[in-house]
A and B are shown apart, each in its own frame.
Chain A
Amino acid sequence: MTSVNLNIANLLFQVRGGEESKLIPDILGFAPFLAPETDEKPHGQMIFGGEWTEDVEHECTLFEFVFSDADIRCRFSRTASDYRFYMQPEDKVEQTLRLVYKLDSSTIVCATKNGQPCLNDTMLRYGLWFGFVLVCAENNRTLIHSSTIVHHQEAVLFLGESGTGKSTHTRLWLKHIEDSHLLNDDCPVLACEDGQMMVYGSPWSGKTACFHNKRFPLKGVVRLSQASENKIRRLPVIESFMALQPSCPPALAYDDILSGRMIDLISQTIRLTPVYHLACLPDESAAQLSCNTLFQ
């Protein structure tokens, strides 16, 4: 069986089997995360080429949505014994890719409805993303929707709904703030390690090719919104929670156990790191304001 080792966020993530695992090294963004073969037990494994069965009873849908980048219908569900994540390309039911995961098994088994390998790049990237979301949930980590700057060797997570100007704001840092670089432009990993919050680059960086297999301590979190003037304020606990929670993988929020873990990680983040709200214009002084506030 072919097997590819990835090292993402200091976790050994192994992708095995099917035609799919052979494709991983060529998927955009994964090359910096390839890891050598090892006898170590992986933190998570994704096994392709599994068998599609439809014998399950009591399957209850937790969350359904359309992954708009690629017209893929997604459904996250729970059965008596496992979680299931379905990705169905619009109008192509037979090409549905399904991930099956038993809580804390570190193992995600993938199968397609028609038994053919899933050769759709976007589905594979997104399937790996979802698989890694589950592995993170076992390891005090989460993928988080953010454009992330590193300044003086510390990371700042910029959060906000799509279209609020996260990438615009981080580009202003790159242009106007010395010693700053982009760690990731879409989905880095937030981790709690030995009582410290850390941020890792990941293979998922949205439209920006920015795939760094690196780790930095988290300096702060900034939720952005557009405004007619620049203004920043530190958020108290409840607002900090409300700033962070919508940027974590939404599907997990619909399950009591998985959302509990997510909330614990958010709590640790708030306990250890300042969270701000920045109302801003897309200008240099917005970047200066957030930099001066965080690194005063």
Chain B
Amino acid sequence: MKIDNRLTLREVVGEHLIVIQGKTDAELSKVVAFNSTSVMLWNHFLEKDFTVEDVQQRLLEEFDVTEEIALNDAQAWVDTLKQNNMVQ
């Protein structure tokens, strides 16, 4: 999968947000707020083709956690991206 390159991570008064515009006037826009780990993952995988295992690997490099925890967290992060149509 790849991050949708039309999305831009923005900083608003210390918060990191991605605004997903509704496709029509009637459709509400959505705001996804990122914590610092999500920001790190986002910036790392931007413009790359990646899998859940790649995300797990990146988490293992960054944090002192077990492979299982890293995999769960990687899956949760990818699921969030998918639910919000943020990956293609």
Contacts and interface: CB of A to CB of B under 8 A. Distances in A.
Interface of A: 63-66, 237-238, 241-242, 245-246, 250, 253-254, 256, 259-260, 263, 266-267, 270-271
Interface stretch (B6-14, B52-60, B65-73, B77-85): B6-14
Interface of B: 6, 8, 10-15, 17, 19, 21, 24-25, 28-29, 31, 33
B19 A256 contact: no
Given A256-B8, A259-B19, A270-B13, 8 more contacts: A65-B24, A237-B12, A237-B14, A241-B12, A241-B17, A246-B28, A253-B21, A267-B13
Contacts of A63: 25
Contacts of A263: 10, 12, 19
A35 B28 CA distance: 39
A238 B17 contact: yes
Majority DSSP secondary structure for residues of A touching B:
helix
A105 B17 CA distance: 29
A161 to B, nearest CB: 10
Given A241-B31, A245-B29, A260 B21 contact: no
A242 B21 CA distance: 12
10 contacts: A237-B14, A238-B15, A238-B31, A245-B29, A246-B29, A254-B21, A256-B6, A263-B10, A266-B12, A267-B13
Contacts of B11: 267
A263 B15 CA distance: 12
Contacts of B19: 245, 253, 259, 263
